[in-house]
Structure 1
Amino acid sequence: MTDVFDELEVAPWNEVSRLHEQLLQQQLDYVVERSEFYRDRIGALRGQVRSLEDLRYLPFTAKDDVRQSLLAKPPLGLHLAAEPSEVVQIQSSSGTTGMPTFVAATKRDLETWNSMGARVFYANGFRPGDWVMHAYAMGRGFVGGLVNIEHLQHLGCAVIPLGAESGTERLLRAIDHLKPRAMCATPSMVAYLGAAAQDVLGKPASELSIRAISVGGEPGGGIPAIRENMEQLWGADVRDMMGGADFGSTYWAECDEKDGMHLCSQGALHVELIDPDTLDPIPISEGATGEIVYTALRREATPLVRYRMGDIVTVSSLDCRCGRTGFKIKTHGRADDMLIVRGVNVFPAAIKDIVMQYAPDTTGYLKIDLDFDGHSTYEPLRLRVEMGKASVRTPEELGATLEGVLRDQLTVRTVIQIVPEGSIERPGAAKEKLLERVGRP
């Protein structure tokens, strides 16, 4: 038997599609009946949707639509489709792009979330009985906090929920004392803890007990240079995962092959791919690139139909030696983060990948200083890049080298300021932010 958490992960895709066809009809009937937002939005179009392909006839739901819904009918919005008394948990988005959005769940919703999350952590190499250090942020209702703990407990792991807010020393000393086998955190936190272990504990992180690491919450886990740095620091297997607060936390995960993240949401979410410019559907095929659109299939409290979360991905494979039938993707980042420099599209994560390749000349920490309005400029992109203490280059040599590599590999012109190690604030409990708005020079 294929080693998976849920047999649905290895079901033939035509069986999964038939299940999604059935669940979609039930979900659309439910939201039209129970959600004031969707009754007004898609009620008149309901009869046109008789298959998954017919979803294209329905309008998209965007983040701003959800915010407006929350403002129109506090506290949980016009799109609430369950009785308030049925809600057992309320989560919040990070609010990094505006007003935080609140996401409600019923008991059944939590069961759905936990099923997806357990599949993700199992694919990432976690197993029942593992002790897991939870080093994601726990505060401000961050969905990666409590909800990931629930996923891990559903899988059968013992969770150590210290959270990123505990600080570097307490986290490392707890790992040293309790000897957990696994850890979950953002890539920047994993790298920061790994680099700090020698100073805090007097020994490298690779001598600690951690052997499986699941990372998410920000780009990095699937970027070769960033992953290699984390694996060398910890002597551990590092795998990427992805999701979002709007649908529970996490529903994409790398398996042993580590060449893309599997869809792990069978029976819970239906996924479409669209062209972010024309909004036309893109067939899911190997090599296809587009924006992911999600439709909930079993959601009771705050269901979303054709929701644009903004992730730009490429389908890396339709099958896998691990036996999972969910297609695999590689993510480029959020559409909101993409920069256009003299007509060339560039994602911040791609810049970080290149900078990381020059360790130890660089620490890997950088800021892209946006001295222009919006996300488009005809001027060179301005970067601050930290120089590693062990570098034998001069700042001028390192800056010129990086400018040349970025120009050659990404076709983007940059002006790089090399700054001393420690100059750029470490993310700590927060997600790493590569972009920073600054005044014009």
Structure 2
Amino acid sequence: MSLSDVFDSIEVQPWSEVVELHEALLQEQLDYVVARSDFYKAKFAGLRTSVSSLADLANLPFTSKDEIRESLLARPPLGLHVAADLGDVVQIQSSSGTTGMPTFVAATAQDIDTWNSMGARVFYANGFRPKDWVMHAYAMGRGFVGGLVNIEHLQHLGVCVIPLGAESGTERLLGAIDHLKPVAMCATPSMVSHLGSMAPEVLGKPARELSIRKISVGGEPGGGIPAIRQQMEELWGADVRDMMGGADFGSTYWAECDEKDGMHVCSQGALHVELIDPDTLESLPIAEGVSGELVYTTLRRQATPLIRYRMGDIVTVTAMDCSCGRTGYKIKAHGRADDMLIVRGVNVFPAAIKDVVMQFVPDTTGYLKIDLDFAGHSTYEALNMRVEISNTSKKSAKDLALLLEGAIRDKLTVKVVVNIVPEGAIERPGAQKEKLLERVSKA
């Protein structure tokens, strides 16, 4: 394979050489965090000397998102875990999650370069090339890392980005595609499917007659699911490839290549990846057929390094090599260990919706059900939900529903349809964990 077929030569480097590089970078990163991060100085007290190689990483405890949130609250603005001088921070992003306070992710100029290198590898593997015109249709609002940061990745690759974003709406996005004729698009699978299905109504012609021939999808499950991929490819007459990442490490670092049978690791020299059993937390070998939870350790991070960070992604290793020539192994993602929903391209957690409803007690009892009348966890329709009205409320059911719909829309940027039900209509959880989601048949 020639180097012109990948963005970065490290993608075709023998894996043994990548491991050797990671061995050296890990020691430098651990020395850095113990010296400069109060969070890790305390967390790894007495443990640093127990890690002399990648194989010893299991001697260190995991880092969780809850710990990072607590760190942010303990020492605003960037937490106890920050390791760079605040004056060296050039960008602050926010995770797309909506449970509780957002997780703020800081970056120095060097961190941005590291992120962009990973992201450019991803989009190149997905088929994008320098000078391509690319419609960016991911959500841009609320500091979502998939918005601005993906644009920076694309610019690093050398494409022409059209950053309209999901918030522009169906008509404007389709109109711009029709007028500007970009060859590529990046968006969530649900957005791609929605735009494709709406093209005949908005433009008077099917999406396959438009200019888009390359589509990179991420941010939610779907791109790697054959039936969903087939639907998108038939709608657009385009090649659709999956990618994956997360806000905590700079947006995206897994990508499908021409083979489209799993996502290559694209974070060589930036992240070390482990696989663990999510139940026992024991380390697992990265080998074909092995399934587990991904755990990440930064190797070059200055502002907010993370060591053995659990993202919650459950994956299966599908191959250790590939005919494309990339030496990074491939995975298939099964989803996150949480219950996040994606509504019109916006991430929302049931607990965040519950939080809004609780603000209307005593007019509501606080009990609710979110009715999932769609497959998976993603929809482009409004989210249907039932909320109990309290027997003591003086408001009408109609007025309360409108108040709730407006509050959820304003706080979470999600459209919902609230059906008010009488007090006692929703089963109480008792000693069991409250289940906010309920699968129902579409009316």
Name the structure 2 match of 1:32.
34
Name the structure 2 match of 1:412.
none
Residue identity in the other structure for 2:145: V
- Is 2:70 the partner of 1:71? no
Q: Please say if residues 295 and 304 of structure 1, whose CA atoms lie closer than 8 Å, have aligned partners that are also in contact.
A: yes
Q: Please say if residues 218 and 431 of structure 1, whose CA atoms lie closer than 8 Å, have aligned partners that are also in contact.
A: no
Distance change >3 Å, CA 432–CA 293, structure 1 → 2: farther
Cα distance in 1, alignment partners of residues 28 and 225 from structure 2: 39
Name the structure 1 match of 2:154.
152
Query: Once the two structures are superposed, what CA deviation does each residue of 1:227-257 show, in whole Å capped at 9, x if it has no partner?
Result: 1110000000000000000000000000000
Cα distance in 1, alignment partners of residues 123 and 31 from structure 2: 32
Query: Once the two structures are superposed, what CA deviation does each residue of 1:407-437 show, in whole Å capped at 9, x if it has no partner?
Result: xxxxxxxxxxxxxx96767xx997999xx92
- The runs of at least 4 consecutive aligned structure 1 residues that moved more than 3 Å come to 381-386, 421-425, 428-433, 438-441
Name the structure 1 match of 2:275.
273
Name the structure 1 match of 2:260.
258
Residue identity in the other structure for 1:246: D
Cα distance in 1, alignment partners of residues 197 and 45 from structure 2: 55
Q: Please say if residues 273 and 296 of structure 2, whose CA atoms lie closer than 8 Å, have aligned partners that are also in contact.
A: yes
**Aligned-residue offset at 1:94:** 1.5
Name the structure 1 match of 2:401.
none
**Aligned-residue offset at 1:335:** 1.0
Cα distance in 2, alignment partners of residues 47 and 432 from structure 1: 52
- Is 2:171 the partner of 1:172? no
**Aligned-residue offset at 1:43:** 3.4
Cα distance in 2, alignment partners of residues 115 and 101 from structure 1: 23
Q: Please say if residues 76 and 104 of structure 1, whose CA atoms lie closer than 8 Å, have aligned partners that are also in contact.
A: yes
Name the structure 1 match of 2:395.
none
Name the structure 2 match of 1:398.
none
Kindly report which structure 2 residues correspond to 1:14-413, keeping only aligned pairs within 5 A, or say none. 14-337=16-339, 384-385=372-373
Residue identity in the other structure for 1:40: A
Cα distance in 1, alignment partners of residues 162 and 292 from structure 2: 37
Cα distance in 2, alignment partners of residues 170 and 220 from structure 1: 24
Secondary structure, counterpart of 1:293 in structure 2: strand
Kindly report which structure 2 residues correspond to 1:3-14, keeping only aligned pairs within 5 A, or say none. 3-14=5-16
Q: Percent identity?
A: 73
Q: Please say if residues 218 and 432 of structure 1, whose CA atoms lie closer than 8 Å, have aligned partners that are also in contact.
A: no
Q: Please say if residues 370 and 383 of structure 2, whose CA atoms lie closer than 8 Å, have aligned partners that are also in contact.
A: no
**Structure 2: unaligned runs, 5 residues or longer:** 343-349, 355-368, 385-408, 417-434
Query: Once the two structures are superposed, what CA deviation does each residue of 1:190-212 show, in whole Å capped at 9, x if it has no partner?
Result: 00000000000000000000000
Name the structure 2 match of 1:437.
436
Residue identity in the other structure for 1:255: C
Q: Please say if residues 132 and 184 of structure 2, whose CA atoms lie closer than 8 Å, have aligned partners that are also in contact.
A: yes
Q: How many residues align?
A: 370
Q: Please say if residues 242 and 253 of structure 1, whose CA atoms lie closer than 8 Å, have aligned partners that are also in contact.
A: yes
Cα distance in 1, alignment partners of residues 297 and 134 from structure 2: 31
**Aligned-residue offset at 1:440:** 12
- TM-score, normalisation: structure 2: 0.79
Secondary structure, counterpart of 1:60 in structure 2: coil
**Structure 1: unaligned runs, 5 residues or longer:** 339-347, 350-368, 374-380, 387-401, 407-420
Residue identity in the other structure for 1:327: Y
- TM-score, normalisation: structure 1: 0.79
Secondary structure, counterpart of 1:68 in structure 2: helix
Distance change >3 Å, CA 101–CA 383, structure 1 → 2: closer
**Aligned-residue offset at 1:44:** 1.4
Name the structure 1 match of 2:430.
none
Distance change >3 Å, CA 48–CA 382, structure 1 → 2: same
- Once superposed, what is the RMSD of the aligned Cα atoms? 2.9
Cα distance in 1, alignment partners of residues 197 and 415 from structure 2: 16
Residue identity in the other structure for 1:152: L
Q: Please say if residues 193 and 235 of structure 2, whose CA atoms lie closer than 8 Å, have aligned partners that are also in contact.
A: yes
